[in-house]
Each structure stands twice: as structure tokens, then as C-alpha cells.
Amino acid sequence: MTAPSDPDRRERRPLRVALLGCGVVGTEVAHGLLENSAELAARAGAPLEVVGIAVRDASREREGVPAALLTEDAEALVDAADVVVELMGGIEPARTLILRALERGASVVTANKQLLAEQGPVLFEAADTARADLSFEAAVAGAIPIVRPVRESLAGDQVQRVLGIVNGTTNYVLDEMTTQGLDLEDVVKRAQELGYAEADPTADVDGYDAAAKAAILASLAFHTRVSIHQVAREGIRHITRDDVEWARRTGYVLKLLAIAERTDEGVAARVHPALVPTDHPLAAVRGAFNAVFVEAEGAGPLMFYGQGAGGRPTASAVLGDVVSAARDRLIGGKGPHESAYASLPVLAADAAITRYQVRLEVADRTGVLAQVAGVLADHGVSIDTVRQSEALTAAFEAEPASEPAPGAVRDEGEPVARLVITTHAAREASLAATVSALRDLEPVRQITSVLRVEGV
């Protein structure tokens, strides 16, 4: 007769952990595994032995990381591990190494949102086939537990909407621009030094990183595969100090938001800068912190807040996944497998419905306001508020006039009025057509900015 399977009688041999990558996050994970080994062993149920760390240059010293652990042979390291922790980033060789690990039955922990958002289905299928864990808490909103709550705790509910700040770098940049009056480029450099930015910070500034996270959250929340290519994306590269200042003067703060929604027609995900009222909780999210609101039918509104970037905070989420994967291995089981996907339609970007703030410069003549209002009305875009003229113009006395749009006629002596129009909710497609028509309107000298307004 076979002995009953009693987890407490299983052999507690050390679990071999391989790290791939020893950068900002990898270094902190290595420190955590090496310095807290006794505590982690007690929590996991077996010692977690670091068998090696794959790096590009093994001859380079890394503080607090024994040189003997460094190797340039990532494949051999993967083949020697029970748990593979991928912290190299990028698509290749991360993808091949993760698949190799899963095919061998090793558990995988990764922080690689880019890979998950582009190639998630391949990886999840490999994990399910191998009955091995593929965990990625660090891939969305750094230290904040958000993947596990959406994937597991809300698995019995119907999530309707996920909205939040999921990129620490851009939140830090916009915050510094708002509070210190700095330019975008200077603050991005600082974000790199602080370990918040991706290896190529374009991924942060142009919204790719947030779009990857939005795709992951939308997939988990709506049980529908959403890839990064289906997320409408606009970054913060075009945001100027002027935009930030106008936001402040009109009662808002600029934030890069990720929004995923489920409607009767399907699901939609988008990432863009948005004006958030100064009294909205998201306005108070400073520095590299992130915050995510989830609305579910049964649970109602939920809010998650914490550090979204940086080595230590991200390593916390990675280490949590490592302990969890170790526990699953010790009982011979696997964490959650992927949902049988509902495959709801993923909607096009221009289906989104939002409020907008449009700033423009017009010839300061009688009747211009009516002409502008007429263009909005013609496109079915209803105006909420219009601010015009002296008060706003006077506030900018010291400010140099902005460059006119290419082709715009600007008479040197002509008085120009600034208008700030806030709309009621309108379809993205209607707003785009409105802006295009405004550009062609004779008295319009410049469309200074078009920003969405959220959280009103």
C-alpha cells in the first residue's frame, strides 16, 4: 500500500533558485535571498539555495553578491534550477529562457511586463502544460499586491473597471514638473538614477510600460486576452511645463493613467495623460508611488496603493512570489492556472468616452467664441465650461507667447485670446474630428493642448 501523501513528511531538500539578471531589481532580490535565508526557509518550508546569477559580464564585481555565484551561461543555470527568477527584462533571451525553464518543470517568477503583455499566452500555456507556476506580481505596480488580488481574490466576482497610476517613472516626472517646475528631460535622468526607469526610459515616457501593465490587468480582470498592441497608448513626452502649470491653475493635476473597462460591447484598455481634480485621491499619489482602483460588481470599489518602482520595493514582490512558488513545489502542486478565457471583443481606441480640456489661442474678436462653440456643437460635443480672456491672459503676462501652429497666420499686432474649454463626456472619435475642424477655423491661431479629464 502506498503511504498517504503527507506534506509534512516530504523531504525538505533545498530548492535551487536561479536568478537571471543582476541589475536594479536582481541585485536586491539576490541580497534578500542571501541575507534572509533562514527566515525565507522557514516561510517557504525548505531552504532556498541560490545556485547562480546569470549576468552579461561575470568578471564585474557586484556589492553584496558573491563572485562565485555569477555566470554568463544562463542556459546551464536554468537547467540546474527548481525556481527561475527572470529579471533581465526585454523579449529575448528572456522568453527562450523562461520557456526552457517551464519545459523542464521549473517554476518561474518574472517582473517582465513587456514579455507578458506581448507573449503572455505562449508562456501561460507552457506553464499549464508543465503544471509549473508562472508568477509575476512585480510586473504590475511594483511592490503593490495587485496581480494576486485580481487573479485570485476577485476570481469569483465581475470586475468592471480598473483605473490607476501604474508607472512610477512618469508619476515621479510629472510630480517633479508640478512641484519643482523642472523640465521633463532633466527629471527622466533623475528617475533613471533612482532605478525607477526601464533600461530604455522611452518605454516609460511614451507609455509602453503602462500599456503593458494595462494589458496584463485587463487580461486578468476580464478573463480576456488583451495584448499590449490592443491598448490605446499616449505617453507624456509632449507634456510641457506650461501644461502642468495650466492644469494647476484650472484645478487639476496631470497624471499618466491606465484604464481598463468592461462594457456591454466588450473590453477596452487605454493609457494616456489625464487631468485629475486636485481633490481626487489619485492627485495625492506622489513620486514613484502607484495607485490602482478596481471596481467589481460584488466587492464594489477597491483601492491599492504603494511603491510602484525601485529595486527594494520591486524585490519585495519578487521574493513573495519565490516563497509562494517554493510552497507550491513542496506540496507538489501549482498556483492558479489561467482562466478559460471569455474572449470578449477588445474595442478600438476611438470608442472610449471621456471628458476633455482643450486649450486654444484665437483672434480676440467679437463672435469668435460663438464660432468655436458652433464647431463643438456640430460634432455633438457638449461644452461644460469655457474660460477666456483677461484673467487667464493676465496670469501669463510674464510668459513668452507660444509658437504658432505651422501654417497659422498670426498678425504681430493682433490681440490673441486664450480659451480653455472643458467638455462633457464625448467619444474619442468625435473629439478628434472636433479638434481637426477647430484647426481649420479661420480665427483659431493655435490648439495649444488637448487633454482628457478623468475622475470628475
Ligand X SMILES: N[C@@H](CC=O)C(=O)O
Ligand Y SMILES: NC(=O)C1=CN([C@@H]2O[C@H](COP(=O)(O)OP(=O)(O)OC[C@H]3O[C@@H](n4cnc5c(N)ncnc54)[C@H](O)[C@@H]3O)[C@@H](O)[C@H]2O)C=CC1
- Per the annotation, binding residues for L-homoserine are 198
Give the separation between CA 350 and CA 232, rounded to whole angstroms: 9
Residue 318 beta carbon to ligand X: minimum distance, rounded to whole angstroms: 12
* Number of residues this chain uses to bind ligand X (CB under 6 A): 11
For 126, list phi and psi in degrees, rounded to 5. -60, -40
Give the separation between CA 321 and CA 136, rounded to whole angstroms: 7
Applying CB under 6 A, among 32, 142, 164, 455 the residue interacting with ligand Y is 142
Q: Is 300 exposed, middle or buried (0-12, 13-18, 19+ CB in 10 A)?
A: exposed
Beta-strand pair 267-277/383-388? unpaired
Applying CB under 6 A, among 184, 257, 309, 421 the residue interacting with ligand Y is 309
Q: Is position 314 an interface residue for ligand Y (rule: CB under 6 A)?
A: yes
How many CA atoms within 13 Å lie on the side-chain side of 424? 8
Of residues 298-317, which lie at the interface with Na ion (CB under 5 A)?
317
* Number of residues this chain uses to bind Na ion (CB under 5 A): 6
Per-residue x/- track, 102-121, ligand Y (CB under 6 A)? ---------xxx--------
Give the separation between CA 6 and CA 330, rounded to whole angstroms: 11
Residue number of the CB atom closest to ligand X: 169
Query: Which run of H or of E encompasses 430?
Result: helix 428-439
Q: What is the end-to-end Cα distance of the chain in Å, rounded?
A: 67
**Dihedral of the alpha carbons of 247, 251, 256, 258, in degrees to the nearest 10:** -140
Give the separation between CA 234 and CA 300, rounded to whole angstroms: 29
From the list 145, 143, 153, 147, the residue with the least C-alpha distance to 124 is 147
The question of whether 334 is a catalytic residue gets the answer no
In one letter, which amino acid is 137?
A: E
Binding-site residue ranges: 20-27, 113, 198
Q: Do residues 239 and 136 touch, judged by C-beta distance below 8 A?
A: no
The grid cell for 348 is 478600438
Q: Which stretch binds ligand X (CB under 6 A): 90-98, 197-205, 262-270, 369-377?
A: 197-205
Applying CB under 6 A, among 28, 118, 137, 209 the residue interacting with ligand X is 209
The grid cell for 243 is 501644461
Q: Is position 22 an interface residue for ligand Y (rule: CB under 6 A)?
A: yes
Residue number of the CB atom closest to ligand Y: 23
Give the separation between CA 69 and CA 189, rounded to whole angstroms: 31
- Binding site partner of 372, from Na ion, ligand X, ligand Y, none, Cβ cut-off 5-8 A by kind: none
Applying CB under 5 A, among 86, 133, 137, 243 the residue interacting with Na ion is 137
Applying CB under 6 A, among 310, 320, 443, 455 the residue interacting with ligand Y is 310
> Which of 137/338 has CB closer to Na ion?
137
Q: Is position 54 an interface residue for ligand Y (rule: CB under 6 A)?
A: yes
Q: Is position 455 an interface residue for ligand X (rule: CB under 6 A)?
A: no
Q: Do residues 25 and 15 touch, judged by C-beta distance below 8 A?
A: no
Query: Which letter does DSSP use for residue 288 in this model?
Result: T
> Which of 167/230 has CB closer to ligand X?
167
> Which of 232/236 has CB closer to ligand X?
236
Applying CB under 6 A, among 19, 26, 101, 255 the residue interacting with ligand Y is 26
Q: Is position 198 an interface residue for ligand X (rule: CB under 6 A)?
A: yes
Residues that bind ligand Y (CB under 6 A): 21-26, 54-56, 74, 87-89, 93, 111-113, 138, 142, 195-196, 198-199, 309-310, 314
Residues that bind ligand X (CB under 6 A): 142, 167-169, 196-198, 204, 209, 308-309
Positions annotated as catalytic residues are 213
